[in-house]
Amino acid sequence: MSTNNIPLELKLNRKDFVSDQTVRWCPGCGDYAILAQVQKVLPTIGVPKENIVFISGIGCSSRFPYYMNTYGIHSIHGRAPTLATGLAITNPDLSVWVVTGDGDGLSIGGNHFIHAIRRNVDLNILLFNNRIYGLTKGQYSPTSPRGKVTKSSPMGSLDNPINPISLALAADATFVARALDADTKHLGEAFYEASQHKGTSLVEIYQNCVIFNPTEWESISDRRNRAETLLYLKHGEPMIFGKNRDKGVMLDGFNPIVVELGSGITEDDLLVHDETSKELAFILSSMSFPEFPVPVGVIRRVVRPTYTEGLLQQIKEAQDIKGPGDLYTLYTSADLWTISEHDEPQTAQSGELSQDVNEQYVDDLEQEPVETTFIQDLMVENTLADLKPKPPITVDADTSLEKAIRQMNTHNIGCLLITDDKDRLIGIFTERDVLMRVTGLVDDLAAADVGDYMTADPVALTADLPIAQALHEMSVHGFRHLPLVDSEYHPEGIISFRDVINHMKASFTDN
């Protein structure tokens, strides 16, 4: 990372990129090391400070723009690549950096991440991967390993984790690298290489969240063991690792294997790193500790035209054929219609609604109200109490199915209400539950509890509500019965659709 080729007027140092804001991350967070290395590398990339911009989304890493004495945008969740794309295309002279995390960049921002990479927009993406949501206090993230126990996955995550490097390669990334926050020298080298790449560069950075995931990369981050746990990649060189450089990686068919040098195996037998090979990059992206050392450094680097280059070329070709664009000509080049009825609307406001502004709206307001029928009025004006609800038959959740069904038969009712130890409604057990969940499925009715087969947290109404609301709930949910409760959710009665029909018949008779 020599500065010999940088013009004299661009001689900068780290202090030039340190903002006046107090850096606030948790003590011991790897974000401090990443920030320091970025600030250390930027003076060497040959770009004026005013042409550098950092864009972030949401998360701990996304505070980055505040701490950089450059232009910056703290954007919205997952959308940093979108803003960065627009900025990089608008001003190709800029060095645009996206700072994101595994939660921000790979969950809500997953599509934006993929499309920026596949388009090969000229920007640099730094993906902080601590495999946890840190800012929102410890939920599992898209990169968390399967089985990870967190606040949002107390029994272990069921999701297969995303491999950011593999995802980027699937989007045909032109530059992919990986680094470790604790290995600061190597981290800075990765940032410099990314800055020199034309197109989208991705650097995945392994880091621990010292609060919510402090041991995630502990097995590979210990300085004393890195020679055994990390595979430092160098283009054109064999894949050797180990404290004594006595181990290496070979291919057995399509599968990588770890071998020890000696006993007939030499460096000539080992895999040689080729940054241009997409197939090799996929193999490297799949290697993980403890079966393999973790590959770090530049995994893939190829040259391909950037999105901006292609776009500007299309604009030039279009201008060569049609001349410079003109917005007015564009707007008036398609079919046009002339609206004559409101050519001259009254725009002055006098406090009164102008009849010329929207005559249809005024006409709608002046329409006579629609007459309602006797039944409609009855359903709105009469309350559920007018249906004379039947007293509820209640049982506990640990009542056996055998006893519950016998209760329904004895009382000739279509449902039972299930209550807790404070006599509050917690479920309803209906004929439909018997048919769909019990019949032919439960062998021993005496051994099964009704609480396991009830409909939990049922819709319940109070007796002072109109009958129309009960009909609405029955229609929307397909219910035949609805429980009635008091203000403390104690069952007071139960109504059925038949009760509504009988009430209508009686009302017609009385009138």
Q: Which of 250, 285, 307 is the last residue of a domain?
A: 307
Instruction: State both tokens at 363.
Output: 């006409």
In this structure, of 142-151, 355-364, 407-416, the range with the lowest mean pLDDT score is 355-364
Please tell me the total count of domains within the chain.
Answer: 2
Among 123, 171, 168, 166, which residue's Cα sits nearest to residue 307? 123
pLDDT at 331: 76
CB 212 within 8 A of CB 149: no
pLDDT at 366: 67
Average pLDDT over residues 456-462: 90
Look up residue 194 and give its amino acid: A
Average pLDDT over residues 351-359: 52
Average pLDDT over residues 353-358: 51
Domain with residue 471: its CATH number is: 3.10.580.10
Residue 430 scores a pLDDT above 60: yes
Residue 485 scores a pLDDT above 80: yes
| pLDDT over 90, % of the chain | 73
- Are 71 and 166 contained in the same domain? yes
| pLDDT over 70, % of the chain | 91
Among 410, 474, 404, 481, which residue's Cα sits nearest to residue 438? 404
322: CB partners within 8 A, 6+ apart: none
pLDDT at 363: 66
pLDDT band at 6 (very low <50, low <70, confident <90, very high): very low
- Scored b (16 or more CB within 10 A) or e, 405-439 reads bebbeeeebebbbbbeeeeebbbbbbebbbeebbe
- Are 32 and 176 contained in the same domain? yes
Residue 4 scores a pLDDT above 50: no
pLDDT at 453: 92
CB 409 within 8 A of CB 455: no
The Cα 445–Cα 437 span in angstroms is 12
pLDDT at 135: 92
- Is residue 3 assigned to a domain? no
Burial of 25 (0-12, 13-18, 19+ CB in 10 A): middle
Residue 40 scores a pLDDT above 70: yes
Instruction: State both tokens at 69.
Output: 């004495």
- Are 282 and 416 contained in the same domain? no
Give the bridge partners for 150, in sequence order. 153
Q: What is the pLDDT of residues 188-226, one digit of tens each?
A: 999 999 999 999 999 999 999 999 999 999 999 888 899
Among 153, 42, 22, 169, which residue's Cα sits nearest to residue 95? 42
pLDDT at 511: 66
Residue 350 scores a pLDDT above 80: no
Among 390, 437, 398, 397, which residue's Cα sits nearest to residue 414? 390
Q: SS in 3 state form for 366-388?
A: CCCCCCCCHHHHHHHHCEHHHHC
- Is residue 75 assigned to a domain? yes
Kindly report the pTM of this predicted structure. Answer: 0.65
pLDDT band at 53 (very low <50, low <70, confident <90, very high): very high
pLDDT band at 353 (very low <50, low <70, confident <90, very high): very low
Domain with residue 78: its CATH number is: 3.40.50.970
- Is residue 339 assigned to a domain? no
- Are 417 and 285 contained in the same domain? no
Average pLDDT over residues 425-452: 91
Q: What is the pLDDT of residues 235-293, one digit of tens each?
A: 999 999 999 999 999 999 889 999 999 988 999 999 999 999 999 999 999 999 999 99
Write the DSSP assignment of 48-73 as a string of letters. -GGGEEEEE-SSGGGGHHHHBSSEEE
CB 59 within 8 A of CB 47: no
- Are 299 and 386 contained in the same domain? no
In this structure, of 60-64, 92-96, 321-325, the range with the lowest mean pLDDT score is 321-325
- Are 492 and 408 contained in the same domain? yes
Average pLDDT over residues 406-426: 92
Number of H helices, E strands in the chain: 18, 17
- Give backbone dihedrals phi and psi of 116, rounded to 5 degrees, phi first: -65, -40
- Are 84 and 228 contained in the same domain? yes
Instruction: State both tokens at 99.
Output: 């700072």
Q: Which of 285, 307, 329 is the last residue of a domain?
A: 307
Q: Which of 108-122, 214-228, 438-452 has the highest mean pLDDT?
A: 108-122
CB 80 within 8 A of CB 99: yes
Of 353 and 386, more confident: 386
- Is residue 120 assigned to a domain? yes
- Is residue 154 assigned to a domain? yes
Q: Which of 307, 325, 356 is the last residue of a domain?
A: 307
- Is residue 251 assigned to a domain? no
- Are 114 and 216 contained in the same domain? yes
Write the DSSP assignment of 387-452 as a string of letters. G-PBPPPEEETTSBHHHHHHHHHHHT-SEEEEE-TTS-EEEEEEHHHIIIIITTT-S-TTTSBGGG
Average pLDDT over residues 317-334: 83
Residue 2 scores a pLDDT above 80: no
Q: Which helix (H) or strand (E) holds 469?
A: helix 467-477
Residue 317 exposure: Cα atoms within 13 Å on the Cβ side:
6
Average pLDDT over residues 428-434: 90
The Cα 329–Cα 88 span in angstroms is 28
- Are 291 and 389 contained in the same domain? no
Domain that holds residue 62: 8-237+273-307
Residue 65 scores a pLDDT above 70: yes
pLDDT band at 378 (very low <50, low <70, confident <90, very high): confident
175: CB partners within 8 A, 6+ apart: 193, 194, 197, 199, 200, 201, 202, 298, 300, 301, 302
- Is residue 455 assigned to a domain? yes
The Cα 127–Cα 142 span in angstroms is 13
pLDDT at 310: 95
Give the bridge partners for 425, in sequence order. 419
- Are 396 and 285 contained in the same domain? no
- Are 292 and 440 contained in the same domain? no
- Is residue 357 assigned to a domain? no
- Are 291 and 391 contained in the same domain? no
- Average pLDDT over all residues of the chain: 90
Distance of CA 342 to the CA centre of its chain: 47
